[in-house]
Amino acid sequence: MQFRHEVKHEISKSDVLILRQRLRAVMKPDRHAADGRYEIRSLYFDNLDDKALSEKLNGVNIREKYRIRLYNRDSSLIHLERKFKHGGLGYKDAAALTPAQAQAIADGEVDWMFKSTDEVILGFYTRIRNEGLRAKVIVDYTREPFVFGPGNVRVTLDYNIRTGLRCTDFLNPACVTVPVKDSPCILEVKWDGYLPDVIRGAVQLDGRGSTAFSKYAACRMYD
């Protein structure tokens, strides 16, 4: 398990304009981004006691969460993701899902999962059965991703955060999302062993401290 350093900063729309120009000068856009960006839709899961939400809000140091994610509404590539957090370090692994499998999970139909040989799917199934995990909220946002080889650095600018309110029908195009009021833009920097000085300088903004902002928590405020 290879953990990576992860740092988030809440930034303004004007900060995005500044950072976009800086990052384009020293980094490459992610090859999966069309015109430098893509739309992300995630379906997050929690138990009846909202354990994941409570741990986030209470600043629990070691956490695990599950989500289903697709990009640009393209259902040909859907992932079930398991994310571990340990302080300022993070680790993510994933399993590919078919549209039918993703829809079944969103609908709470999970008996098929115990036959899987994939560790992520089996781990999720165990959590569902033991803790009662279920779909809680859809989170949509726009992401501009940049990559840099040395240090395996990834910098993202996230904005236009939207919530599906009580709709958790992940693949239903009629499930509209609405803007999260007063949500900030988010700068996120991830790297392996070291962060090169050229990237450290490019993302530096005066008066912008690290943040524990959670898109999931922000979107759950409308429950």
Q: What is the pLDDT of residues 147-185, one digit of tens each?
A: 999 999 999 999 999 999 989 999 998 898 999 998 999
CA distances to 10, 143, 157, 188, 190 from 17, rounded to whole Å, are 14, 14, 10, 15, 20
Q: What is the pLDDT of residues 87-115, one digit of tens each?
A: 889 999 999 999 999 999 999 999 999 99
Q: What is the CATH number of domain 4-220?
A: 3.20.100.30
Instruction: List the helix and strand counts (H, then E) for the chain.
Output: 6, 10
Determine the residue type at 165: L
pLDDT digits (tens, 9 = 90+) for 7-34: 999 999 999 999 999 999 999 999 888 8
Q: Which of 134, 135, 158 shows the shortest CA–CA distance to 146?
A: 158
Look up the pTM and report it. Answer: 0.93
Tell me the C-alpha distance between 128 and 122, whole Å: 10
Q: Compute CA distances 142 → 23, 77, 125, 182, whole Å.
A: 17, 17, 29, 16
- Residue 130, CB half-sphere, CA atoms under 13 Å: how many? 8
